[in-house]
Amino acid sequence: MPKTPTFLMTDDSHFEVSYKINPWMTPEEWRRDEVKNRAEARHAAASLAEALRQTGARVVHIDGAPGLPDMVFPANAAVVLDRRVMAARFRYPERQGEERHFLEAFARLKDEGAFDDVSQMPKDYWQEGAGDAIFDANRQFFWTGFGPRSSFEAADVLRDFFNVPVKPLELVSGRFYHLDTCFVPLSGGEVLYYPQAFSKASLSVIRDHVAADKRIEASDEDAARFAVNAVNIGRDIVMAEPTAHLADELRERGYSVVPLRLRPFIMSGGGAYCMTLRLDLKSASATNRGE
């Protein structure tokens, strides 16, 4: 029996855009319409949780913390696979305070039986969780992002810890600073990605591993809408509103697209995927061992 897909989300009460650590964030713009932005954020986060539940997934919520607005992006807090957790090391001081809160949450979940092991990335590296380490179930490896937020070497730590191969991809554009902003593998073996975000060498790595008919290139418009930052569960894709062109292409390939209005979170540089952290992913070898 397949297990129920389970996602961690953080309560959005403390979310705001109060500092700038990526080009999408403009605190002045946020403040200009703060009440409306807050109200919309509340609505958007609830609609995401509801959309996940509609696909049959379970959503586990944790509390945020005052002064740590980006805790609403738990994808950055850890890499999780086979009941093992490698907690993040954030690049910017603005987010480093989140580490303690997420470690506490992961320890609690371990006590409740969700995990066997909770570790943290060694201090010498930056690594921003599942935002920069995306498990590809068809290919049985992690695609990892490096450059803006995660160290190149962190990929080796993940490989050794989870005992699965890694394919590091270099991110070269400041606007697409986490791998999940410009890359998502889909259940049918396709990869939806935004080519301009990658170095030439990394584009070759993608093309070496993903056949031409499985590569879906996102337009500038879809990338800017954070549609690539999508959550794929079976044939469902929960995503910030894509263009009609991308929605049609995904539907033609047999996916059911669940579009959401996530505007306040996009003002922080995040979409559906980064607002969640998948907790129940299993590698094929763990599944074969009966774990």
Write out the residues near ligand ARG by the rule CB under 6 A.
21-22, 25, 70, 73, 75-76, 95, 131, 178, 180-181, 268-270, 274
Closest to ligand ARG by CB, 21 or 51: 21
In sequence order, which ranges of the chain are alpha helices (DSSP H)?
27-32, 34-54, 93-96, 98-111, 154-162, 200-209, 220-224, 244-252, 263-266, 284-288
Nearest to ligand ARG of 24, 106 (CB atom): 24
Instruction: Provide, rounded to whole angstroms, the least separation between the CB of residue 174 and ligand ARG.
Output: 11
Q: What is the SS3 assignment for 95-125?
A: HHCHHHHHHHHHHHHHHCCCCCEEEECCCCC
CB of 291 to ligand ARG, least distance (A): 27
| Smaller CB separation from ligand ARG, 61 or 207 | 61
Strand partners, 119: 86
| Smallest gap from residue 146 Cβ to ligand ARG (A) | 14
- Nearer CB in complex with ligand ARG: 147/270: 270
**Catalytic residue list:** 178, 274
Q: Comparing C-alpha atoms, which of 161, 103, 187 is closest to residue 144?
A: 161
Q: How far is the CB of 73 from ligand ARG (least distance, A)?
A: 4
Distance (Å, rounded) from C-alpha 163 to C-alpha 72? 29
Please, is 3 exposed, middle or buried when counting C-beta atoms within 10 Å of its C-beta (0-12, 13-18, 19+)?
exposed
